[in-house]
Structure 1
């Protein structure tokens, strides 16, 4: 190896050039100003984009779970950090296309005072910037977690969808409660027990809140799953029936507890805590079950076997090459 080759670095270990660092700092300052410093949205146009966005994560919009999104995004980026850093390469001019498109969406949001349009444009702006500065391979690895931002935007049509989900949840709870010996009568979206106690299946109980939250979790799950793309799609789509089944069982449990422990506890404490102690553990277990079926076994055991086989093959190969 000659001296010039000895001092060379691979693209994965090559330090950032001064121009690249300056570009990243400038980009961070511009995005930070537009999304965290430009007050033009919300009541009286006194809020910046991210402030209005996070304020929309509330019970009224059935989007209380939005607070987990920043931690979920940070966890996904940390999980793939080594791959992302190793994928850095020469930037490409094509990255300017999605970056400029994202910037135009922000300008449109400023003109129309629609903060959601600005959030929709943010993944384009960030992914395009990474593509322009680090190349398409790094941008591809970052695209999925960045576009998860779309699942953290409360949108109006979800409220319109609650009508159908309310009817489905009400009928499933009615049938399920009857199977467990708790007869009920349906009156619209209200279920009345034999003793006259009634429970309204409102928008939150209909499953729209739990469905959207589980979709966000399932999307993150598919990102870290080591299975082919078509299996990842199936795993993500499984969140829909899992959310409906899990929510129906939660409603059924409310009626069963109401019969044997009283309506006060069932409609109060258990109603408020059942999503945390029943719905999410049950739904995550079903996601793991679907993942295991697609994987052909428990994911961690499957990968451990692959690593053992890879290690054995490597050792055998080294042993053969060292044999005189």
Structure 2
């Protein structure tokens, strides 16, 4: 059977609600873990927003896409196989407390349920909002990457300030100024900005019109923009430490400069979108 996006009958609506409730009950341990990570993991504080954004995208696609249709009664064996495999993976990883893997298995479960209840067309149109939920799940290697990123940032930043005439010496992630000794630690790695900017550029690429390669370039730009913004931030921090002392640099300036340079990266991102002519929003998704 086929239903328009705006006119689901009572039975279909009830089925969706029941499936949704069962899904939440089954996956509740993972949501509880995610909530704790969002509140306690400084690298994934943005995770709170991801489910809200995904839900908004789903509602907007259903409401605004005239070609969106909801079909049931056409169960594909592949959709049932995907549901079975994803449920097995979810239960196994949940039992072994590999919650980040459980979170990704949960996404495949959700995709298979949409496929079963709404058909392939519905799944294809809702694939991005479902997969976008992947940005809410903390990855285990993120924290391990902070030290290499911090050392990379330190080398680039000290090299830049040396070119500008500042006397500075670096060994590992320890930086020596004439008036202060500093350590470029995990908080200066820029991983927060990298993760958040990647999520933002991915969302932007989905929302705008344009050839695939241009939108892919928009997503990939998150990496150099985040790295460049962080290098500029740490470089400016070294100048502040040299001029006003390490205490001034690591109390007031360190806390507020991150937001300032993130905004600067967003401005550069918008400039790149203008250059790529990817500024017109898709009316079928927003």
Same topology, TM > 0.5 = yes
Where does the alignment leave 5 or more consecutive residues of structure 1 unmatched? 1-9, 37-47, 304-324
Decide which moves more: 142-151 or 60-69: 60-69
| TM-score with structure 2 setting the length | 0.86
In the alignment, does 2:219 pair up with 1:236? yes
- In 1: Cα distance, 2:207 partner to 2:5 partner: 24
The structural deviation recorded for 1:200 is 1.4
In the alignment, does 2:238 pair up with 1:258? no
Q: What's 1:194 paired with?
A: 178
Matches within 5 A, 1:147-166: 147-166=131-150
User: What secondary structure, in the 3-state scheme, does the structure 1 residue paired with 2:185 have?
Assistant: coil
- In 1: Cα distance, 2:31 partner to 2:255 partner: 29
Decide which moves more: 97-106 or 245-254: 97-106
- In 1: Cα distance, 2:66 partner to 2:107 partner: 19
Q: What's 2:126 paired with?
A: 142
In the alignment, does 2:18 pair up with 1:26? yes
| TM-score with structure 1 setting the length | 0.77
In the alignment, does 2:44 pair up with 1:63? yes
User: What secondary structure, in the 3-state scheme, does the structure 2 residue paired with 1:183 have?
Assistant: coil
Provide closer, same or farther for how the CA distance between residues 77 and 184 of structure 1 changes in structure 2, counting only shifts above 3 A. farther
In the alignment, does 2:275 pair up with 1:275? no
> What is the CA deviation profile of residues 38-86 of structure 1, one whole-angstrom value per residue up to 9, with x for unaligned ones?
xxxxxxxxxx221111212356563333233234334433543424575
> What is the CA deviation profile of residues 66-123 of structure 1, one whole-angstrom value per residue up to 9, with x for unaligned ones?
2332343344335434245750232342333433333222221233232222211122
In the alignment, does 2:280 pair up with 1:288? no
Tell whether the 8 Å contact from 2:48 to 2:136 is kept in structure 1 after alignment. Answer: no
Q: 1:205 aligns with which of 173, 182, 188?
A: 188
Tell whether the 8 Å contact from 1:218 to 1:239 is kept in structure 2 after alignment. Answer: yes
- In 2: Cα distance, 1:292 partner to 1:171 partner: 32
- In 1: Cα distance, 2:237 partner to 2:62 partner: 43
User: What secondary structure, in the 3-state scheme, does the structure 1 residue paired with 2:276 have?
Assistant: helix
Provide closer, same or farther for how the CA distance between residues 159 and 110 of structure 1 changes in structure 2, counting only shifts above 3 A. closer
Structure number with the bigger relative contact order (C-alpha 8 A, sep ≥ 6) is 2
Provide closer, same or farther for how the CA distance between residues 57 and 199 of structure 1 changes in structure 2, counting only shifts above 3 A. farther
Q: 1:169 aligns with which of 149, 153, 172?
A: 153
